[in-house]
Every structure is written in structure tokens, then in C-alpha cells.
Chain A
């Protein structure tokens, strides 16, 4: 119980990670898969940020008044990772729009079925 209380951010991280991966595997809807991917990536943000935070810690300001600092580096790294995540999600959604234009569906099984018929004609 104590381990859970002191490490609960890790438990949340693992829960999000597993949930995101599960959505990607279990759902056939292409947009839902991307939502799963986004949740999965978000868990990593937490993995980096949580250990960098100290209770009562401030931003690293050089002053006599502050003694406890949070590590700023993970925050900077995750800013970059968030940008990457947004770019990935935006590109993914753009591709889904094109898939819907080309196939008229965003359900994985319908798209695969459409291609099987298409492939035979070739």
C-alpha cells in the first residue's frame, strides 16, 4: 500500500500506457486507433515529468529565497515530445481523411475487404 502511495504516478503511467496500446489493438476504427496512440504517447510525458517534480520545488531561480528546485530538463524534453506527438496525430488524421476519400470508410475490416475485391481485378 505504501509502495502504491509513493509511486502512484508510475501506476497511472503504466495504466495509461496499457490502455493506449489496448485501444490501438482492439479497435477497428482508424480514428479510435489514433486516440489510443495519443493516450499511449501521453503516458510517456508523465513518465518523464513526474520524477522531475519535487514537492514544494520551484522553477530553478537563483535566489536565496528558494532552496528546492524541480528539474527543468524533463519539462523541456517533453515540450519537444508533445510537439512530435501533435505532428504525428495531425498527420495520422490527415491520412485517415484521405483514406475515407479513397475507400468511403474508416473501419479497418471494411477497407481490407474493399481491397481484396480491388486486388482481384488487377
Chain B
């Protein structure tokens, strides 16, 4: 009975937790509810993923209105994979938030943080699970509006400006998306993604369809921070509260990539997007620009959190590069990197939050000699940094490996070389942390800095361990991504 409604509960439970938290107000209760809701969502996503592996596709008719008239929740290999990533990060960030939020926000704002956190999680999960194009927009706005609030909660006044800029650009992005969906609705008369795909196959690439493709591409590129539409991202990540940054960096851009994949390969179909239009060429060009420029800019940042934010722009470039290759290996690399980069950046931003809490900031001047004062945290950052570079034995290596395979398969040997070469820039910026933490003389007062609080450290290390684990055991990530890639290239929704 309950299992039957799991696709709805996946979204409804975090969504319902938010108003409940606002009513109860008590910080401890608010936190417990947020943890309960996110852990439930994680459990639900695991059950759904197991079910999808068994039966293929789960279709849930919201309110018993059969699709395509009603809103359909649809879980397939790709969305099940994304649900697991988003809810896993949510279930880890929620327990992490207790100490971090207590230190960074005034007490009267704690319950608001947890309410908005639950809304953001519900929005991201909803974007992933829904099978209705307009419903994606609604959930996108739920997630985005709560992200703007999460960012604006940052202590620095620049957080307000970052939130405002993200609000403008994010809304332009979402509005472009909805213009695209509107044009598709005018052409096909349906909003159900699977139904839309069938009807579009009969229409072909007419002018409104191409315009819709362009609007959706630009709109989602803003959301996923594809170069040169990434300008909102560095400040938003740098000034948001640590727990919020960990959630955003690990999930927000990834879910937008998922929606882009959904539209490219399910709705428009590889035939139109890849073979008749120069979309792959444009994506590959922009991805290379993103990887090279953002990596170089990251290298010169004075603040470690900002450095990681620029590195996120570069890593999104690797993901879109995989999409641009549009082959089985390329798409596998893209989907695997969605997951691997999610856990790597989640781990890094969580650990950095611990450093910010103890050292008062993550400016490189403050990181001097921190390897002695916070050995466990610094070891975690270094290990996750190795995964960011893509050193063999870490999760990051797996995604780079498939990316190189995809590039070689497409005959772009220079592209494979570029992936390896740009990883060297990542070596340089991770080295800056290692140099500051381990090889520099401690700053005055550094000896008094203690290790990060144990609960924060524990959940951060779960993700660090995951970065190593998924470097050896790829049965979940690569197999899941392969199934998703086969699904996308098969054309069938």
C-alpha cells in the first residue's frame, strides 16, 4: 500500500516537512524533522532504484489521473540514479548542518534554514522524478527560490548580492525554459514528456521546435552554470552557509544537467539534437572553454571556497563534454561524473565548512600549517582533492577514464589529451591546499585550533570514503550510468 505510493512520497515527505518545521520553530525539533525527512527520501530512492532495476520503468499517476492528462511521476534508470545521488547528499548534509548552522546562523533563523533546506530537497527530487515538462518548471522554481534564501542566509553581506544575482539569472534561466516548453506545447498539445517525445517524432525539426530547443538549452545552461553563463556560481557558493554550499554544489547543477539530458535525448531525440544540428560541436567548444578558463581562474583564488567554486564550473565542463560526445561512452562518462563529482564536491565543501568553523575562514593565509591542528580534516580534503584531480583509485578517475574512452572512440585524440592536460591544472590547485596545510609554517594562533566537531567530521568522512569506494567498486555507478546511457540513446523514454 505504502510502497505503491513511494514515487509520490519521495517528494511529498520533504515538502510536507517544511511547513511543519515552520510551525514547530524549535531548532532541535526542526533539525530532527529535516534529518527524518531526508533520510526517508534516501530510503525511498533506494527502494525505487531496486524496483527500477527489476521492472524497468515505474509510472505513477498523480491523484489517479492517468497520463498524459494527469501529471505522471516516472522513474527510469536515469532518474532513479539521480534520485539516489540527490537524496543521499540530502541525508548527509542534514545531520552535518546541526553544528555548522548553529555556529554560522543566529538561533532565531535555525528553523528557517531547515524549512528551506527541506523545500530545496523536495524541489530537486521533484525535478528529477516528474514526467511532466511544466511540473519540472514548478519544482525548478521551488528549488531555486529556496536556494536563493539559503544563499542569502550567509553571514557575509556579499551573500545578499550573490543571492540577488543568482535570483536574476536563475529566473531568466527558468523563464527561458518555460518559453521553450510553451513552444513545444503549442506544437504538440501535450506536456507529458513521454507523450511529447512521441508526437515530436512525427513533427520533426520545424522552426518552433528548433526555437524551443534553443530556449531550453540556454535556460538550462544558465541553471547548470555552463561557461559563459556561470557568473552567478562562484559568489553564490563562496558566501552561502557551509551546509547550504555542500547541498547546492553537490546537487543543484547536477539536477539541471539531468533535465537537459532528459530533453536532449528523450524529448527531442538524439536524431535531431546530435545528427542534424551542431549541438555537440557547440557543447564541446563551450565545455573546453569552461574547463580551461575556470581551472586557470581557480588557480589564482585567494580563498579556498572560491577556488572550489571555480573548480565546480570546470567540472561541469567535463560533464557537458561527455554529453557533447553523445556516444555510449561519452554519456556514461557524463552520468558517472554527475555522481562522482557530486560526492567529491560534497565532501570537500563539508570539510571546508569544518575548517571555516574552527579557523574563522578558509583564506589561504588562514590555512597555513593547519595540517597539524586539524589532521583528520586536512587528510580528508587531500583525499577528496585526489578524487577531484582524477587520480587512479578514486571516483574521479573512473569518470575521466570513460571520458577519455569516449573521446578516443569519437576519434578526438586531442580531446583525450586535453582532459589529461587540464587534470594537471587541478593538480596545481589541489597542491595549493596541500602546500598551505602541510608545508607552511603555522600562522600565529594556529596551534589553538581544534579538530572539527565529530558529527560534522563523521558525515564528511562518509563522503570521502565514498570517493575512494566508488574508485574501486563501480558496480553501482558505472552500471547505473551505462543503463541510463543505453536508455537515452535507445530513444525510448
Question: Quick check: B145 and A88 within 8 Å, CB to CB?
Answer: yes
Identify the interface centre among A37, A48, A51, A84: most chain B CB within 10 Å of its CB. A84
A19 contacts chain B at the CB level, 8 A cutoff: no
Identify the interface centre among B149, B158, B168, B185: most chain A CB within 10 Å of its CB. B168
Question: Quick check: A24 and B168 within 8 Å, CB to CB?
Answer: yes
Q: Given A84-B141, A99-B160, are A44 and B179 also a contact pair (CB < 8 Å)?
A: yes
- Closest residue to B183 on the A side, CB-wise? A47
CB distance from A44 to the nearest CB of B (A): 6
A contact patch SS: helix
> Which chain B residues (154-184) contact chain A, with CB distance < 8 Å?
157-158, 160-161, 163-164, 167-168, 171-172, 175, 178-179, 182
Question: Quick check: B178 and A44 within 8 Å, CB to CB?
Answer: yes
- Closest residue to A77 on the B side, CB-wise? B134
A12 contacts chain B at the CB level, 8 A cutoff: no
A122 contacts chain B at the CB level, 8 A cutoff: yes
B468 contacts chain A at the CB level, 8 A cutoff: no
Q: Given A37-B171, A41-B171, A77-B134, are A30 and B141 also a contact pair (CB < 8 Å)?
A: no
- What is the 8 Å Cβ interface bit string for chain A, positions 95-122, against chain B (1 contact, 0 not)? 1101100110000000100010000001
> Which chain A residues (3-18) contact chain B, with CB distance < 8 Å?
17
B263 contacts chain A at the CB level, 8 A cutoff: no
- What is the 8 Å Cβ interface bit string for chain A, positions 68-92, against chain B (1 contact, 0 not)? 0000011001001100100110011
B216 contacts chain A at the CB level, 8 A cutoff: no
B138 contacts chain A at the CB level, 8 A cutoff: yes
Which residues of the other chain, B, contact A98 by a CB distance below 8 angstroms? 152, 160
- Closest residue to A34 on the B side, CB-wise? B168
- Closest residue to B151 on the A side, CB-wise? A95
Q: Given A47-B182, A103-B157, A122-B363, are A92 and B164 also a contact pair (CB < 8 Å)?
A: yes
B214 contacts chain A at the CB level, 8 A cutoff: no
Question: Quick check: B172 and A40 within 8 Å, CB to CB?
Answer: yes
Question: Quick check: A95 and B163 within 8 Å, CB to CB?
Answer: yes
Distance, CA A28 to CA B163, complexed state (A): 16
Question: Quick check: B164 and A95 within 8 Å, CB to CB?
Answer: yes
Number of A-B contacts (CB under 8 A): 67
Which residues of the other chain, A, contact B178 by a CB distance below 8 angstroms? 44, 81
Q: Given A77-B134, A87-B141, are A30 and B186 also a contact pair (CB < 8 Å)?
A: no
Which residues of the other chain, B, contact A88 by a CB distance below 8 angstroms? 141, 145, 167, 171
- What is the 8 Å Cβ interface bit string for chain B, positions 127-149, against chain A (1 contact, 0 not)? 00000001001100100010011
Distance, CA A96 to CA B171, complexed state (A): 16
Which residues of the other chain, B, contact A102 by a CB distance below 8 angstroms? 157, 160
Question: Quick check: A91 and B175 within 8 Å, CB to CB?
Answer: no
Which residues of the other chain, B, contact A81 by a CB distance below 8 angstroms? 137, 178
Which residues of the other chain, A, contact B157 by a CB distance below 8 angstroms? 99, 102-103
Distance, CA A21 to CA B173, complexed state (A): 12
Q: Given A37-B171, A88-B171, A91-B149, are A115 and B161 also a contact pair (CB < 8 Å)?
A: yes
Question: Quick check: B141 and A92 within 8 Å, CB to CB?
Answer: no
CB distance from B112 to the nearest CB of A (A): 13
Which residues of the other chain, A, contact B175 by a CB distance below 8 angstroms? 40-41, 44
CB distance from A37 to the nearest CB of B (A): 6
> Which chain B residues (445-478) contact chain A, with CB distance < 8 Å?
none
Distance, CA A81 to CA B141, complexed state (A): 10
CB contact between A21 and one of B138, B172, B185 (< 8 Å): that residue: B172
Which residues of the other chain, B, contact A37 by a CB distance below 8 angstroms? 168, 171-172
Which residues of the other chain, A, contact B168 by a CB distance below 8 angstroms? 24, 33-34, 37, 92
Which residues of the other chain, A, contact B185 by a CB distance below 8 angstroms? 48, 74
Distance, CA A102 to CA B164, complexed state (A): 13
Which residues of the other chain, A, contact B145 by a CB distance below 8 angstroms? 87-88, 91
Distance, CA A99 to CA B171, complexed state (A): 19
Q: Given A44-B179, A47-B179, are A95 and B172 also a contact pair (CB < 8 Å)?
A: no
- Closest residue to A97 on the B side, CB-wise? B160
- Closest residue to B163 on the A side, CB-wise? A95
- Closest residue to A96 on the B side, CB-wise? B164
Which residues of the other chain, A, contact B149 by a CB distance below 8 angstroms? 91
Which residues of the other chain, B, contact A103 by a CB distance below 8 angstroms? 157
Question: Quick check: B167 and A92 within 8 Å, CB to CB?
Answer: yes
Distance, CA A113 to CA B145, complexed state (A): 27
- Closest residue to B170 on the A side, CB-wise? A88
Which residues of the other chain, B, contact A74 by a CB distance below 8 angstroms? 185
CB distance from A33 to the nearest CB of B (A): 6
- Closest residue to B190 on the A side, CB-wise? A73
Question: Quick check: B182 and A48 within 8 Å, CB to CB?
Answer: yes
CB distance from A85 to the nearest CB of B (A): 9
28 A-B residue pairings within 8 Å (CB atoms): A17-B179, A24-B168, A24-B172, A34-B168, A37-B168, A37-B171, A40-B172, A40-B175, A41-B171, A44-B179, A47-B179, A51-B186, A77-B134, A77-B191, A84-B141, A87-B145, A88-B171, A91-B145, A95-B148, A95-B164, A96-B164, A98-B160, A99-B157, A99-B161, A111-B161, A115-B158, A115-B161, A122-B363
Ranked 8 nearest A-B pairs via Cβ: A102-B157, A84-B141, A99-B160, A95-B164, A48-B182, A98-B160, A47-B182, A92-B167
